[in-house]
Chain A
Amino acid sequence: MKRKLRWVSGLLLIIALFVVIIFYPPASLLEWQSISLMRFFLILLLCCIFCLYRILRGPTPADRIVAIDILGILVVGFCAVLGIPTGRPWYIDIGIAWALQSFIGTIALAKYLEGKGFEE
């Protein structure tokens, strides 16, 4: 019973967020580029909220490390989307540097999870 209630509440939350994403910027006010960019940012924020839920709730440390890895890849997507409306060339530099840092951090966390040292 409690499990079914959790299912229904989660489904309703996701449907409400989709409705907000589809209808929030009113389509008659702006041109289509800025409206679609707003929806892109909202969808990326929804993905980040899912990752934060898994980081907070995850039963084992491995779940949290997986969610941190996914969050690091999503930030690269954020930098790529930010490069379109602003026209500045250094957002993609931030993306490359973030991908490198995220890869090294994930490898270090996986070695920590393995329980051995860094010598091998």
Chain B
Amino acid sequence: MIEIIAYIFIAVGLIFDLFGCIGLVRLPDVYNRLQASTKCVTLGTCSILFGLFIFRGFTATGIKALLCIIFLILTAPVSAHAIARGAHISGVKLWDKSICDKYEEDKK
């Protein structure tokens, strides 16, 4: 029973990963791709690691999986924000159907 629950968690995480990567291919702009793929892939990988924790229980592997979840949740938004800021400063243009650009207004 525990095994089935762990496999269901891993399958849900893989579906999130797949949708994030389809968004990485499909969407038209750097910022759209960043906001689609980073959130989906972070949550999906955390779900895979939580499935590993359920499968192993409170052994060394399971506790390391929990530590890895905490580490990913702390670091992935930071790196995504750094990439977005670097791309905006280096002059990557928005998609031509984008409506507003608040960061450009704030810099003036």
Q: Which residues of A contact B (CB under 8 A)?
A: 14, 33, 36, 40, 43-44, 46-47, 50-51, 53-54, 60-63, 65-67, 69-70, 73-74, 76-77, 80-81, 83-84, 89, 92-93, 95-96, 99-100, 103, 106-107, 109-115
Contact = CB atoms under 8 A, between A and B. Distances in A.
A80 B86 contact: no
Given A70-B21, A80-B68, A111-B86, 14 more contacts: A14-B22, A50-B25, A66-B33, A76-B49, A77-B45, A80-B65, A89-B59, A93-B64, A96-B67, A99-B68, A103-B79, A110-B85, A113-B87, A113-B90
Contact of B30 (A62, A89, A95, A109): A62
B83 A51 contact: no
Interface string B44-61: 110011011001100111
Contacts of B38: 66, 69-70
Interface string B76-101: 10111011011101101000000000
Interface residues of B, number: 51
Contacts of B25: 50, 53-54
Would you call the interface of chain A mostly helix, strand, loop, or mixed?
helix
Given A92-B65, A96-B67, A100-B71, A110 B14 contact: no
